[in-house]
Amino acid sequence: MKIYIDGKYYDQKNAKISVFDHGLLYGDGIFEGIRAYNGRVFKLKEHIDRLFCSAKAILLRMPLSHGDVVRAVVETCRRNKIRDGYVRLLVTRGAGTLGLNPNRCKNPAVIIIADKIQLYPAELYERGMEIITVPTIRNLHSALNPAIKSLNYLNNILAKIEANNAGCEEAVMLNAEGFVSECTGDNIVIVKAGQVLTPPLSAGALYGITRGVVLELAREGGLSVAEPNLTRYDLFNADECFLTGTGAELIPIVKIDGRVIGTGKPGPITRRLVDKYHALTNVSGEPIYG
C-alpha cells in the first residue's frame, strides 16, 4: 500500500506523522471518506467541495488547491491499483506545540489512504439491520457544528459504543430537542405512504453526499421527498427505513428499538433505490485510469 503524506508516497510501515500533530493531540483537522467504483472516484468534486467548506469553518488553511487535491486522490488510487475501494482523505492542523493554540501549527498536513472497506456484514444488506436509539445526543450546532467533518468523532464513537454494547451495529442519535438527527456514521431515511422522508440538516444531520444522491434518485423516480423534523414515533411507524453513507452505501433497517419496521424485510422502494444507486456508481465519477 502506498500512502500519500504531504506530496510524497510511503509504504504502510513508513507512513508516519509527528506526535505533535494537532490532529492527533486535539482532533484538530478534517476528513472525507470517498468511494471508488469500477475505476472511477464517485462524486469526487462534491467531496472536495465539502472538505474545503469544513476547512473554512474551522479556519484551517488548505495547503493545496481544489484541483491539486483531486489529482492527489486520483493518483493515490492509481498507485494502489484501486478499481473498487475507499479513500480516506485527511487534513490536519499540522505539527505544533503542547497547547491548543492553532497558530503554533505552521504547516497543515494532507494524508490520503486508498484501500478497501466493508462497514457492515454483507448479509445485513440482504436481510436488513436492527438498530437502537442511544442516550448520547448529537453535537449542538452552537458547540461543534455537525456539518463539519472534523477528526474529533468522539461524540459519534460514544454512541457507537452504546449500540455495540446492546448488540447492534449502528445507533440513532437524537438532537437536544429530541428530534432524530442521524446515525453515528450514516444518514437515516424512512418511507411513509410512498413519501421519502429524512431529517433536515438543521436537526444535526450531516450534509451527506450519498444522502443527496439518493434523494435526487428518489425525485427522478417520481417519489415525493421531504425533510421534516422526525421523532422516534415516526421511525417506528415507517413503512421502510434505510441508512445512507459513503461507507455504508444504502443498507435497509428492519427493526428500531425492538419495533419491526414495515414487514420486517427490506421494502420495495428501498430495493429500487439500491439498484438505482449501484447503477449510477458503476458509470459515474472521476476516471482513475486513462
Would you name the residues annotated as active-site residues?
149
C-alpha cell at 86: 475507499
**Residue in 193, 196, 23 with CA at minimum distance from that of residue 111:** 23
Question: Angle, nearest 10°, between helix axes 44-57 and 209-220?
Answer: 130
Q: How are beta strands 8-11 and 29-37 bridged, if at all?
A: unpaired
Residue 226 CB partners (closer than 8 Å, separation 6+): 195, 196, 197
Q: How are beta strands 180-183 and 171-174 bridged, if at all?
A: antiparallel
Alpha helices (H) along the chain: 22-26, 44-57, 66-79, 122-127, 154-165, 209-220, 232-236, 268-281
C-alpha cell at 265: 424485510
**265 neighbors 127 (Cβ within 8 angstroms):** yes
Which residues on neighbouring strands pair with residue 287, listed in sequence order? 40
